[in-house]
Every structure is written in C-alpha cells, then in structure tokens.
Amino acid sequence: MNITVFFKKLFGIKTETQEPFMKKFLIVGLGNIGPKYENTRHNIGFKIVDAFVKEHEGSFTTEKLGDIAKLKIKGKPVIVLKPNTYMNLSGKAVMYWMKQENIQVENLLVITDDLNIDFGTLRMKGKGSSGGHNGLKDIQEKFNTGAYPRFRFGVGSQYRKGEQVDFVLGEWSKEEESAMIERIPTCVNAVTSFITAGLANTMNAFNGK
C-alpha cells in the first residue's frame, strides 16, 4: 500500500471522494517541557524549532497537545509543533496535528537528538527505526510504521555503560553548548531546505555536516 494512502486510512480520510491533501508541512521538535529539561541534550529538537520559528519571524501559542507556530515559507503553509506530552508520548501530539491540518506523511519532519551519531553531526532520513529513542518509538507505535522523515542532531555517546538516560537528560557541557549554538543556524537552514527543496536535495546538502 502506498504510504500516503496508508496514512489517509489511518486518519480515517477517504482516498477517492475527498480532495487531496494540501501541500502543507508539519515540523516537530521533540523535547520535554519545563525548566528542568530546558538545557538538556534531549531537548535539542525544541531548540532547533525555536530558532527556526524566530528566523522566519513567527511565534508560538499554546494549543492542544503542544505549542504551535504557523508560518508561510515561499508560499507554503508550515505548522511547527513542540509537544507538551513529554518525550515518551510524542506520537499522540504528532498524530493529532497531522490529522487536524491534513498533512501528508512525506511533509512531516521530526527533529530529535541521537546518541548514535557523533556530537554536532546532522543526519536527515526519510524513514528508519527508533534507534532506542523513546520519542521516535512512540511515534512509530502510533503510526505503526517508521516511514516518516526525521532530522537527527548527534549528541554523541560519551557516557558510561548504564548511564544513557542520565546522559540525554543531562545538561550540555560548556564546550558542547558553545558548539551546539554554532550548529543551530545550519540546522535551521536544513529544515528550511526540507520545505523548499525537498528531502533528497536536503539530505545531499546537509547530511554529515
């Protein structure tokens, strides 16, 4: 089954009698809400979408299941979501807003941290496994597929065995924070490119940077 048809069926949208989806995008930054988590490695998704919305002169408002910003980039409607469900229940918010805004799965981009990538390295893919990430795991369980675009920011794996959770929920070191801040504009450019130039071109331009 075509993946777009699958998602239309998942969301209860008729594929033959209704008009096709609008060319609209949903950009999701994963993270945990509250000051306790604000500067943790696990919240890099929030930081990237905050910078992305600021770059495009938008602002967030609190709506159902998260903070939402609505932008237009080169005429394309863009919804930016920061779920307020906490990381482990991210899929609930993503599903709700995809259905609410009638968004095709290929126009979804989920932004997250990744322990399996060297610090500061960027990687965008059209599908994949959760890689042990609880936010991606919940989205995959809600969708019943891993076939959706995701953009991962490497946080490295400089932790001792059994301390993975403490590492991702820990704050950046001063050196990491400085380097992370320098990487944010490139991340914003990559997200913008996903919307304006497409997944394949963006992967070619930014993966491994």
3-state secondary structure 35-81: CCCCCEHHHHHHHHHHHHHHHCCCCCEEECCEEEEEEEECCEEEEEE
Q: In what order do the strands lie in the sheet with 150-154?
A: 61-63, 66-73, 76-83, 25-29, 108-114, 150-154, 122-125
> Is 42 annotated as catalytic?
yes
Instruction: Confirm or deny that 148 is annotated as ligand binding.
Output: no
Active-site choice (41, 42, 133, 152): 42
Instruction: Confirm or deny that 134 is annotated as ligand binding.
Output: yes
Instruction: Confirm or deny that 116 is annotated as ligand binding.
Output: no
Instruction: Confirm or deny that 37 is annotated as ligand binding.
Output: yes
Residue numbers annotated as active site: 42
Give the annotated binding-site residues for tRNA.
37, 86, 88, 134
